[in-house]
Chains A and B, each alone.
Chain A
């Protein structure tokens, strides 16, 4: 059992999968260059030393192209792990993801599989509109893709391994403030997410959520960074006598509906906290789930705490306003009692 950051846990997970299965390989921009960073956030640092540059393949700056390459490789017996420097660049490969990777199995009538992993950093981190978006929901709306969002080191490694072994395209969204990247790639305002990770092989099943804190009075659902904000809010609410339960779905597609519904049926109150823009969003989906399937257990309207419907701003004061704060969560929860 070692205490690892999320970046380290991902790296260990990739290393173990590459050792276990020779068809697993990494590709992406600046992931294996000697003297480079090991991807934008150090996740693949050092892997080329062990596996060589054929299996830690540096690509030209061609997001759509290398996504298509990964799909072609995945359909022909390989298990690529594609690294996207910033999730925002996923838009460059949107056709390959949404039209190709997601649909090959379906439009082939189940005769072709695409065991592909795409890793993408998200989250607002003083980089402004094109390097700091929260993008998960774009992909949760595309049937054929699986989407996970680990918020702990244990989950990061376990979900990565599960994703590599899955026979479908899986997008792993990683939050820049949670990586625990070190040195020159460390992030201002990072949240300590390092945790114990077993030495032995394990996976976290895709589709299974986690209860981060048990409570009776209100269910807080968050993902990535907002899990931590929700936990902090829950601790402060305890002082008011409000006992909050915090749910981290971990997988967005498939979604552990049962876990969320069970919690909402217990507490009767739901606050979904997301760093996403609100309109037609992820939190809306969770709220709709509760409204449709836990309606008679609700003791207050289910509500969302989201980023406003604006691009991620640059100025730190604006960014602080943009990312849901603990105070906003507290206000939303208190209004329900």
Chain B
């Protein structure tokens, strides 16, 4: 019996996805469970497995095309079997496929989690537990960046203590909105147990829908961005670039097996441009402008805890493959709240991308003490004039905000112009050394 191949639903907020590559061609024999095609959302690129064994037939979405979730993009059937009429839907298949896609997505996430998991030694865990230190916020200095006892001891001196509580008590408290700090623990060593949480008075109802104290990350954001807004002489330049070659190059790289995001390509491209324009890769230190040789690019990441800008160091020395690997790990750590403090400061330039939200152009705020920030908008297909004719092309808006105290409009504009040029003619620059993309 013929089985539908569906575009998987990749998340609650995603209703379409782009098919990156077919690993099998129409007419090929495929086996259930083998990777059949890759799809991409703004979040991730995922392999999708074949739902059945048979011959791949009636492929209706080609590589590079988008399709709504749960629409049929091909069939798997015997070679000579009559396929059902167009328009018939196999909802059972769809549901099953959706589940499979979720599983695939989970698998991908857990694989990423394993690769990027930051380790804490048993001794560090024990010390953290005894001293009420939140390990997630402790920077690791041990082997492979693991958290060791000295890191916990250092954190204990500065970090706000988390009351000792059982994992279950923490979860129950979080669900009930009960602050652990207000509770007295009755467990071993004063540990807060579930009963302690359940006995606590419910939070008093307030008038506001939500009233959140400005602490932690939020306070940090408020302070930094407020200071930037007050202190910098910010100017934003915008330019539109033809991203057709850029998008094609990315498709090729992905097809070669490297799951590079647009941001990864921008990181590589910016590293090149910043090397060429060191005035944009600069900081204001006291009353001196310090142009930096090494390119350490902060990446604006939207997290549950708020905007974070973890820094990818030495981007100019990294191959694209390394950039892909490290930026994914970095973003993941940021989203998990596991970035150590030193990873959240010390950048020389910032990249922010709102393309996934459908934003074209905006005015980013300079991430002090850096000199400039590049905002990348959505890459969309639009009519464009090429050699005097109107063609459908990929277009992208680039927004560069710079601190006029440090650099003038001319150099900033030339820098943006160079970025545009690199987007339009990426060549193999982006793929570059070392071996492969």
Contact = CB atoms under 8 A, between A and B. Distances in A.
Direct contact of A and B (CB under 8 A): yes
A9 to B, nearest CB: 40
A contact residues, range = 10 to 19
A256 interface: no
A51 interface: no
A181 to B, nearest CB: 42
B contact residues, range = 10 to 19
A297 B143 contact: no
A180 to B, nearest CB: 39
B47 interface: no
Interface in B394-432: none
B142 A300 contact: yes
A20 B148 CA distance: 55
A298 B123 contact: yes
B123 A297 contact: yes
B125 interface: yes
A336 B141 CA distance: 11
Nearest to B150: A299
A209 to B, nearest CB: 22
Q: Which DSSP category, helix, strand, loop or mixed, fits chain A's interface?
A: loop
B267 interface: no
Contacts, number: 32
A296 B127 CA distance: 9
B142 A337 contact: yes
Contacts of B149: 268, 299
A330 to B, nearest CB: 15
Contacts of B148: 268, 299-300
B126 A300 contact: no
A335 to B, nearest CB: 6
Interface string A167-178: 000000000000
Q: Which DSSP category, helix, strand, loop or mixed, fits chain B's interface?
A: helix
A336 B124 CA distance: 14
* Centre residue among B123, B124, B126, B143 by max chain A CB count within 10 A: B123
B126 A337 contact: no
* Centre residue among A296, A297, A298, A299 by max chain B CB count within 10 A: A299
Contacts of B124: 299
A314 interface: no
Interface in B105-144: 121-126, 142-143
Interface in B58-86: none
A290 to B, nearest CB: 10
A89 interface: no
A296 B143 contact: no
Contact of A297 (B126, B142, B146): B126
A298 B143 contact: no
A299 B125 contact: no
A295 B143 contact: no
A242 to B, nearest CB: 13
A296 B142 contact: no
Interface string B285-298: 00000000000000
Interface string A261-286: 00000001000000000000000000
A20 B125 CA distance: 56
A298 B125 CA distance: 10
Nearest to B151: A299
6 contacts: A268-B123, A268-B148, A268-B149, A299-B148, A299-B149, A300-B121
Interface of A: 268, 295-300, 335-337
Interface of B: 121-126, 142-143, 146, 148-149
Given A296-B123, A296-B126, A299-B121, 19 more contacts: A268-B148, A295-B122, A296-B122, A297-B122, A297-B123, A297-B126, A298-B122, A298-B123, A299-B123, A299-B124, A299-B142, A299-B148, A300-B121, A300-B143, A300-B146, A335-B143, A336-B142, A337-B142, A337-B143
